[in-house]
Amino acid sequence: MASPWRVQSRKRGLIILINLREFAMKLDSARIEQLRTTAATYLAWLKAWLAPVHLAQLRPMLKFQTGVLAGFALLASVLLGITNCTTQGTIQQRLEEDLQQSLEEVVPASWYDNVMQHDIVTLDSSDYNLGANETTVYLAKKAGKITAVCFKFTAPDGYSGAINMIMGLDRQGTLLGVRVLSHKETPGLGDKIEVAKSNWILSFVGRSLATMSASQWAVKKDGGDIDQFAGATITPRKAVQAIYRGLHLFKENQALLLKQ
């Protein structure tokens, strides 16, 4: 049995053939001859314009040189446009795959049966210093009931710049997972926030605002309960602070999110 896509393609091809046939039937011999004459005229003009003698006369002229540059610029723009059109779908697919992988790392697959990218809520996060005025929250659902939420956030003040992260939380606001998506921290020191470099980021699983006081949500050097790295305190400090602010974003919007 032919697939729906093939059936649809055949229908479109048949429609195109019918349209072409109708167009050809409307052309009488006089019209066809007129089209041939017009095409021959344009080709003769183009051949004469591109003749070496004519081009030699045009080269010293400023408007010719400007026209050539404009032509190359136009050609480059067209090629860039074509490249963008042909690769845009692939780029978007890769971005969606990366997002799906990130979501799976912070929310266990057994917790949901929906497509989280399709169940989203946008929150105002302008007061939380999370790198954006709005935050997209992805909802994990099992049998239609929300079991967890997930969202990206940023520590904008890392040692070497922004630290982009993602976190997953259960309905009570307990962390299911945190991952660093990108950063520019010092290799061998600050990059230990990556799960590939150390287990530090895994230590947040099970933590929440309910089980830890505000003073505990800090690195040990600042009197808190969370480890820092030898020789690199700023990176974990800023990451912890951003996670803490992210937890407050969830807490303030918990009732709204769980109503979805």
* Domain's final residue, options 61, 79, 97: 79
SS3 category, 161: strand
Structural domain includes residue 243: yes
Residue 112 lies in a domain: yes
Same domain? 8 vs 75? yes
State pLDDT tens for residues 244-259.
Answer: 999 999 999 999 999 8
Residues 6 or more apart in contact with residue 2 via CB below 8 angstroms = 10
- Looking at the whole model, is its pTM more than 0.85? no
pLDDT band at 60, cuts 50/70/90? Answer: confident
pLDDT of the residue at 214? 96
30-39, 154-163, 206-215: least confidently modelled range? 30-39
Q: Above 70 in pLDDT, residue 17?
A: no
Same domain for 119 and 169, yes or no, is yes
Last residue of a domain, one of 79, 95, 126: 79
The residue among 213, 188, 202, 196 whose CA lies nearest residue 239 is 202
Domain that holds residue 66: 4-79
Start-end of H helices in 107-148: none
Buried/exposed code over 93-123 (b: 16+ C-beta within 10 A; e: otherwise): eeeeeebeebbebbbeeeebebebeebebeb
Alpha-carbon torsion, ordered 205, 233, 237, 169, to 10 deg: -20
DSSP letter (8 states) at residue 166: E
- 3-class DSSP state for residue 51? coil
Number of domains present in the structure of the chain: 2
Sheet of 175-182, strand order: 120-124, 134-142, 145-158, 161-170, 175-182
Domain boundary among 63, 79, 95: 79
Structural element, H or E, at residue 243: helix 234-252
In a domain, 87, yes or no: no
Residues 170 and 47 in one domain: no
Q: Are residues 130 and 218 both part of a single domain? A: yes
Do 121 and 168 belong to one domain?
yes
The answer to whether residues 228 and 185 belong to one domain is yes
